[in-house]
C-alpha cells in the first residue's frame, strides 16, 4: 500500500499545483516591476505628426525684421498706419450684425479725427476715435492689417526686433488690445484659421477719462482660451486691434502715438 500510495499522492499534488498555478495566472496577470515581473518588448513612441506649413514660397520663413518703431501717430490724417520701410497696413472697423447698433467710424470710413482743443498741441493734432453701442452678439473691434511687402509679395510682419507695443489712450472701461497671427485670424482677415477664429493674443487696458500711457510687452500677452490655440510669435503678425466685448458696451475712447517698444539696451530708429 505504501509503495502504491506515494506516486498517487505525488500525482495529485502535481495536479493540484498545476491547477492553482493556472487559477493564479488568470486572476493575477503579470505585473511590471518586482521579482518575477514580465516586461514586454519596448517599442519607441511614434514621432509626432508635423503640422502642415501655413505658407509656402517667399512667406515660408520670417520676413526681414522691421526697424521702424512708430506704428501710427495719426498726424497724416489718413486711413493707413505710418509708412514704415517695407510695411503696409490699413485701418478698419467691424462689429456684429445687431440691428440698430452703432459703430464709429463706420465700416470702410476710417480717418484720424482732430483732437479737441484741450488735448491738441501744434505737434499733436490728430488721434483715432472709436465708439460703439448696441451690439449684442460679440461686440466691436477696430484695427489695422499688418504686413511686410516687397515687389508685390506680402507676408506676415516681423516685429521680433521689438519687445512689445506702447500707446496713449483715454476713455472709460476695459478695451483689449489684440495681435492677430495667421493661425488665429480667419481668411476674411488674410489669416489661415479655419474654425474658432479670432481668439487673438492680447491684453486688457483699463481706460480712464484722462490720457494714460500704456506699455504692452510681448510676454504679457495671452489668448482668451475659447478659440484655436497658437504659439505667439512676434515675427508673424498680421493684425493689431482694439476689441470691446458686449458686456463692456457702450464704449467711446481715443488712441494715439502707437509705437513698438525697443528691446532693452537697443536704440530705437527714428521714423
- Write down the pLDDT at residue 264: 86
Average pLDDT over residues 78-99: 96
Query: Which residue, 189, 198, 188, 190, is CA-closest to 230?
Result: 198
Tell me the pLDDT tens digit for each residue of 12-65.
444 344 444 445 444 554 444 444 545 455 555 555 444 556 777 789 899 999
pLDDT (tens digit per residue) in 164-189: 999 999 999 999 999 999 999 999 99
Please tell me the predicted confidence (pLDDT) of residue 20. 43
Answer yes or no: are the C-beta atoms of 1 and 7 closer than 8 Å.
Answer: no
Report the predicted TM-score, pTM, of the whole model to 2 decimal places. Answer: 0.78
Q: What is the pLDDT of residue 270?
A: 54
Q: Read off the DSSP letter of residue 51.
A: P
Phi, psi of 147 (to 5 degrees): -150, 155
Q: What is the mean pLDDT of residues 207-225?
A: 98
Q: What secondary structure letter does DSSP report for 227?
A: S
Percent of residues, the chain, with pLDDT higher than 90: 75
Instruction: Annotate 182-209 with DSSP letters as a single string.
Output: TTTSBGGGT--B-SS----EEEEEEE-S
Output the nine-digit C-alpha cell for 214. Answer: 500704456
Amino acid at each position: 500500500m505504501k509503495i502504491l500510495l506515494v506516486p498517487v499522492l505525488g500525482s495529485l499534488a502535481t495536479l493540484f499545483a498545476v491547477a492553482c498555478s493556472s487559477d493564479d495566472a488568470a486572476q493575477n496577470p503579470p505585473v511590471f516591476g518586482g521579482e518575477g515581473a514580465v516586461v514586454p518588448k519596448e517599442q519607441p513612441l511614434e514621432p509626432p505628426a508635423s503640422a502642415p506649413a501655413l505658407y509656402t514660397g517667399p512667406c515660408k520663413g520670417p520676413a526681414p525684421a522691421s526697424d521702424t518703431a512708430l506704428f501710427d501717430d495719426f498726424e497724416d490724417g489718413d486711413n493707413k498706419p505710418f509708412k514704415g520701410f517695407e510695411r503696409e497696413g490699413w485701418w478698419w472697423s467691424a462689429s456684429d450684425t445687431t440691428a440698430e447698433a452703432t459703430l464709429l467710424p463706420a465700416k470702410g470710413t476710417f480717418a484720424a479725427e482732430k483732437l479737441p482743443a484741450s488735448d491738441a498741441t501744434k505737434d499733436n493734432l490728430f488721434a483715432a476715435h472709436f465708439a460703439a453701442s448696441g451690439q449684442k452678439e460679440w461686440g466691436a473691434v477696430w484695427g489695422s492689417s499688418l504686413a511686410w511687402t516687397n515687389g508685390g509679395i506680402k507676408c506676415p510682419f516681423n516685429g521680433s526686433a521689438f519687445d512689445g507695443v506702447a500707446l496713449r489712450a483715454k476713455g472709460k472701461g476695459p478695451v483689449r488690445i489684440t495681435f492677430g497671427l495667421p493661425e488665429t485670424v480667419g481668411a476674411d482677415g488674410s489669416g489661415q484659421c479655419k474654425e474658432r477664429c479670432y481668439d487673438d493674443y492680447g491684453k486688457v487696458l483699463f481706460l480712464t477719462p484722462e490720457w494714460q500711457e500704456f506699455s504692452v510687452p510681448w510676454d504679457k500677452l495671452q489668448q482668451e482660451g475659447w478659440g484655436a490655440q497658437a504659439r505667439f510669435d512676434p515675427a508673424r503678425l498680421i493684425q493689431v486691434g482694439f476689441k470691446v466685448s458686449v458686456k463692456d458696451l457702450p464704449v467711446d475712447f481715443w488712441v494715439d502715438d502707437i509705437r513698438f517698444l525697443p528691446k532693452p539696451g537697443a536704440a530705437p530708429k527714428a521714423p
